Amino acid sequence: MRTKKLLSIVPVLAFLVISITSLQAQIGIRFPSEKKTVKDPVTGTELTFLTSKPAGDSKIYQTHNQWTADGNWVIFRSNRVKGEAMAVNEKTGTIVQVSEGGFTGMLNVARKSMKLYFMRNLPAYQATQNRRGRPVQVIEVDLATLFADSESGKLKPATAYQRICGTTPAEIGAGGDMALDGDEEVVYFRIGKEESARHIPEGTKIEPNFGPRNMGAGPSGLGMMNIKTGETKFVVAVPFQVGHIQANPWVPGEIVFCWETGGKAPQRTWTVMSDGSGLRPLYPESEYEWVTHESIIADHPHPTFSADGSRIEIQSAMLSEDNRSMNICIIPLPEEWLKRKY
C-alpha cells in the first residue's frame, strides 16, 4: 500500500520539477544584482563588475554592439540559464533573461531600436541525405516591452516578446555567425559548402586547409535575410572558409568578414557589398603580417567601447577563485581624456 502511494506521488513530483525548471528558464526572469566596484591595484581605476559569480559569463564579440539602444543594459552570454542570453542593467546591476528557447551563433544588439536578434536551430528538424542542412530561424526580441513587464512582474508568454523574422531554407546550410546591417533591415550569415559551390565561378581555385589547425578550406559564402519580410538572398561565395562576419553600422550594405583558419590566414580580412559587388581584401596582407587576434591567458578581454565613447566593456577573471571564470566588467575612461579638445 505504501509503495502504491509513493508511486502515485512520483508523477506529481516530476511535474513540479518540470514546472520549476520551466519557470527558471522563462524569458524576463530577474536575478539579483552582483554588481561590485573594485579598485584596480595597478592604475587605481574604479572597475565596475556587473557580474561577479562563476556563471560562465562572456561578452559578445568585440566588433558587435554590446549596449542596448538606450545605453542602460549590457547584453551578454551566460550559463545562469544554459543556452539563453542575459542583460544586466549598468546602474542597478539587475540581471534579466532576454531569450527563451535558446540561440546559436552571434547575439546582435540593435543600435537604433530596443531590439535583439539571433539565430535559433530547429532541433525537431531531421536532415535527410538529400538535404544535409537544416532550417534556421532568425529571432527578434522586443527588449523594451520585456524589460517593462519584467520590472512590473507581469510577464507574458515568450511569444509576446520574441518574433520569428523568418526561416532559412534547409538546403543553403545557414548558421554560425550573424551580423545586423547598418540600416537594421537585414542580417547576414554564413551559408554551407554545397550551396556556396553552386554559386562560385567556374574555374575558381578552391583553397585547402591552412596552418597547424587544419582549417580554412573552402568553399563558403554569405547569405542575407530581410528581417521585416523573412526573404532570404544569396550574397557571395568564396573559395575559403568564412569566419566572423561584421556589418558596418554607419554604411548600410557594407560587410567585412574573415578567412577563418584558427590563426593566420594568407589573406584574413575581406569586404563585400550586400549585392555581392566589390569583393576584395580589406587591405592586401603581406606574408610576414599576422592579422588576427590571439591570447596567452584563460581568455582575452575583447574590449568594446560604449556608443558615447566614455567607457569600455571587457570580460575578466579578476574576481574568480579559479582565475578562469569570466565576469562582465566596465572600465571608465579617465575624465581628463574625455575633456580633451581636438
DSSP-assigned letters across all residues of 281-323: ESSPPPTT---S---SSSS----EE-TTSSEEEEEE-TT-TTS
pLDDT tens, position by position, 270-309: 999 999 999 999 989 998 888 876 444 576 678 999 999 9
Whether the predicted pLDDT of 179 surpasses 90: yes
Sign of the CA dihedral running 24, 94, 325, 300: positive
189 within 8 A of 172, measured Cβ to Cβ = no
Q: What is the pLDDT of residue 22?
A: 43
**Average pLDDT of span 236-254:** 95
* Residue in 251, 250, 103 with CA at minimum distance from that of residue 177: 103
> With 0-12 CB in 10 A as exposed, 13-18 as middle and 19+ as buried, what is 73?
buried
Going by the DSSP 8-state scheme, the letter that residue 215 receives in this structure is: B
> According to the model, what pLDDT value does residue 133 have?
74
- pLDDT band, very low/low/confident/very high, at 126 (cuts 50, 70, 90): low
Q: Residue 294: its pLDDT value, please?
A: 45
In the predicted model, what is the mean pLDDT of the chain? Answer: 89
Give the per-residue pLDDT at 196: 97
pLDDT score recorded for residue 141: 98
pLDDT at 6 over 50: no
Q: For residue 60, give the nearest of 303, 339, 309, 317 by alpha carbon.
A: 303
pLDDT of residue 121: 93
pLDDT, residue 299, reads: 63
Minimum mean pLDDT range among 122-136, 183-197, 259-273, 312-326: 122-136
Task: Output the pLDDT for position 290.
Answer: 82
Name the 3-class secondary structure at 170. helix
Q: Taking residues 30-55, what's their average pLDDT?
A: 94
Rounded to whole angstroms, the Cα distance separating 62 from 182 reads: 16
Rounded average pLDDT over 225-247: 97
By the 10 Å C-beta count (0-12 exposed, 13-18 middle, 19+ buried), 275 is classed as exposed
Read off the pTM: 0.87
Query: What is the structure's pLDDT at 124?
Result: 66
Percent of the chain's residues with pLDDT above 70: 88
Using CA of residue 19, residue 22, residue 27, residue 28, what is the dihedral sign?
A: positive
Mean pLDDT of the 29-50 span: 94
> What pLDDT score was predicted for residue 120?
97
Measured CA distances, 111 to 13, 32, 99 (Å): 45, 27, 18
Mean pLDDT to the nearest integer, 170-190: 96
Output the nine-digit C-alpha cell for 237. 561565395
Per-residue pLDDT tens for 151-170? 999 999 999 999 999 999 99
Query: Using one digit for the tens of pLDDT, what is the confidence trace for 194-220?
Result: 999 999 999 999 999 999 999 999 999
